[in-house]
Structure 1
């Protein structure tokens, strides 16, 4: 997308007569109003929507930028964003209501309610250890997502340790749907959306103009994931205003017993400070300030106790943080690949405090050399290899940063620039399977089959597990054999 794309700003201020006391922190609001458009321009984020809660009540809702930069269609108060993993917190709230109603027990194995053996091997007895509490605190032993077309496996004894898993939430979703005899969206509509007035929220795909498109660094549009049945871990479409109503409910304990609310906010497991998806190893040590409760991450810091969650559906990013002591919160949704690079700045301005979660999820910030390198390479091409020579050489700009920049150039069909970037990556990181794979893709797109095959083969030598590379290589070899036979 053009570096100088215009950011249309549409203000939506939520201030009902009954909330005349809202927005006491004018300095924070002014800082956000001033900083967000600048941050968006620096990071190529087309559209963003944000809500701030003060003392348990929604104080400020604001929308910035565009749904589609090519049409300058503005983000509005009712524009739905893909919430990504912020889907999980709302689903958890619904599940805890079912617990309070006696429909589900937190510690009864889910196979008691739904006996379907969803794992491979099906006789794995560890499935019978997974209960709702273990799912909500990410201790199932499941991977985040199974391989495409692959079987769901348990990698460690459920309850033993933390490893973030969307699959666990989908398993709990299927169990809840079996208990209630209804699909996910109907259940959440009854328990959450309707009671809280979240009229612009849904877990299922819906047509309409009020849904953002996501944008890659190369400027390609990406629609939200389609889910006709709903996915409790990832498919929520919502607005900043609607999500703020949910945060009000969390801060007031609405529809939950006090004991259940306390359990939600109580650490169930400390995380491994070195990883989020940790199926392949036990932690060498546990975090002293980052934990998982029931559906929420928990930070325990000198500045207070916070609930938090991040969302990342590729080009759709989201973040929420809740200050339990002061009953303040902030949530924002963005439709650009760099959305989480500005999360620390937004949270700092909105609610302050220290947030070790950002260190753990480890996204480069908007002003980091890596993000600046990607941004400048997309716009200026391979000449940035000279501009950033020192940072490339000392590793400040990482292998991942270089590959990302080259990939975005390739997707824009700027093949010469992409080849130069990937080649430099391999000079600096000769064992980069991703760089060889991306070079293979680039040569394949330009019809240089022999070079594509050569690079795919090198990639597979470095990472024999990559099924996508095997598939691409097999396809090229088959096409090459057919061409030779034809001549």
Structure 2
């Protein structure tokens, strides 16, 4: 039985040319677990729904998130499901319990559920080279592809680049030896999808519908916009709350093309770990320390068989994020306590409230998740400064940043975060912010790396090269640093050759 409780309206401001006040309608859908509709229970605590919703709405207004779909799991049951905000910023249509959000990279977990069923059925071997199931023309140019196994794909250590367009757009590259280190790869999941089709001799979309959607009763999950045109979907938004055209994939895109709700995804996650659908051996495969993440997180973070796994002294937590243009998703789930949270947003800023949402609800120990990230979690000065930009423009934001500097309240990544954002919005503002940060924190590498990225965007490859060299000297851990250095070197060589040939032509005249 569902208990519906429509909470009071909350004010929400949408910033366009002027500030327009609109009512923020929220609708609470709480599953009956012997709980009062005034609160939900998690970790032995009662969480007041009214106060929880009020805080979520306040964060949405501060950060600039138009809509959210959120579910809390307790003892492998949905304890709380709630939707917030609007499908599109500045428009009156509210998000409700059936509104779809892009699952982004959480789409991969639907395949995961299929894969482990096939392993339990002895139809797929996680350690058998995938070419023995299906030769893959896109990777045949590199003999190392014959070493790649399904386990490597699930643990993101196959070496296959994330997308073909990342480095050399003409070739799908293997950028590290298979099994050697973490390289996140959407392309790897698409290869594995082709293997699954080959094993079962039917289209991937039909397999997913039969083995996942129908089996778990996921009625608001769609794999494409080809045969069925799902209605009631949210629109994505950039960092300034500007609408991004909706991606309506006409074919199945296993690594990131699912549209769903937090409620449906919660049921997928429960099905993954409740022991009804997958054997204990498969759950152990998920938790297996397949790939070290020491370059990205503090110790005890690994990528297991489909999820990031965080090992703490008292818990084992799985995590996964998702990022599509205009959408951000995040989940955290305690395997020990059978407790977790999933939320989906229609904003490029959606992940910034992750820590606060966890603290307000399931209280899992996830602080190490954000230790090396340069986007600061809510609340932060970067969030406040960006809000000032949306309200009053770049000069007002710069002025406030100057005040914070004088008060010694600018953290090492505050201006980095803003600089990274403004590389795609206003390059003059981005350069001012990042240059200031190199002065404030001359021994930190990230501002130099981001300046190099900005210089590359403006095709000043000499300046970019110098910035990247400085970042490397300061022990930058940016994954694309060496690639960017090589690209700058090639571009500078081209310019030298062109300059030399032009000089020769001039002298011959």
TM-score range, shorter chain: 0.7 to 0.9
- The answer on 1:199 being equivalent to 2:210 is no
Say which of 379, 400, 404 aligns to 1:367.
379
Which has the higher mean CA deviation after the structures are superposed, 311-320 or 224-233?
A: 224-233
Give the unaligned 5+ runs of structure 1: 277-286, 411-417, 441-452, 475-487
1:7 and 1:46 in contact (8 A); partners too: no
Which has the higher mean CA deviation after the structures are superposed, 50-59 or 138-147?
A: 138-147
Mapping of 1:54-203 within 5 angstroms? 54-119=74-139, 122-147=140-165, 149-203=169-223
Q: In angstroms, what is the RMSD of aligned CA positions?
A: 2.9
Deviations 1:430-450 (A, max 9, x none): 962444467x5xxxxxxxxxx
Say which of 283, 286, 290 aligns to 1:264.
286
The 2-side partners of 1:427 and 1:241 are apart by 44
Secondary structure at 1:118 match in 2: coil
The 1-side partners of 2:130 and 2:58 are apart by 48
1:79 and 1:211 in contact (8 A); partners too: yes
Deviations 1:50-97 (A, max 9, x none): 011111111111000000123211101000100111112221111111
Q: 1:369 Cα deviation (Å)?
A: 2.2
Mapping of 1:288-437 within 5 angstroms? 288-355=299-366, 356-360=368-372, 363-381=375-393, 382-389=395-402, 396-398=412-414, 400-407=416-423, 410=426, 419-420=428-429, 422-423=431-432, 425-426=434-435, 432-436=451-455
2:89 and 2:241 in contact (8 A); partners too: no
Q: 1:147 Cα deviation (Å)?
A: 1.8
Give the unaligned 5+ runs of structure 2: 1-13, 439-446, 468-483, 496-509
- The answer on 1:24 being equivalent to 2:41 is yes
1:219–1:5 distance in 2 versus 1, CA, 3 Å: farther
Which has the higher mean CA deviation after the structures are superposed, 52-61 or 29-38?
A: 29-38
Deviations 1:141-199 (A, max 9, x none): 11222226331111222112222222221221122122223333221111111111101
Which has the higher mean CA deviation after the structures are superposed, 138-147 or 190-199?
A: 138-147
Match of 1:218 in 2: 240
The 1-side partners of 2:21 and 2:412 are apart by 28
What is the count of residue pairs matched by the alignment?
433
Match of 1:247 in 2: 269
The 1-side partners of 2:377 and 2:154 are apart by 29
Deviations 1:306-346 (A, max 9, x none): 11111111321111111122211110001111100001111
Q: 1:459 Cα deviation (Å)?
A: 5.6
- For normalisation by structure 1, the TM-score amounts to 0.80
The 1-side partners of 2:179 and 2:57 are apart by 44
Q: 1:12 Cα deviation (Å)?
A: 3.2
Match of 1:413 in 2: none
Match of 1:33 in 2: 53
- For normalisation by structure 2, the TM-score amounts to 0.77
Secondary structure at 2:198 match in 1: helix
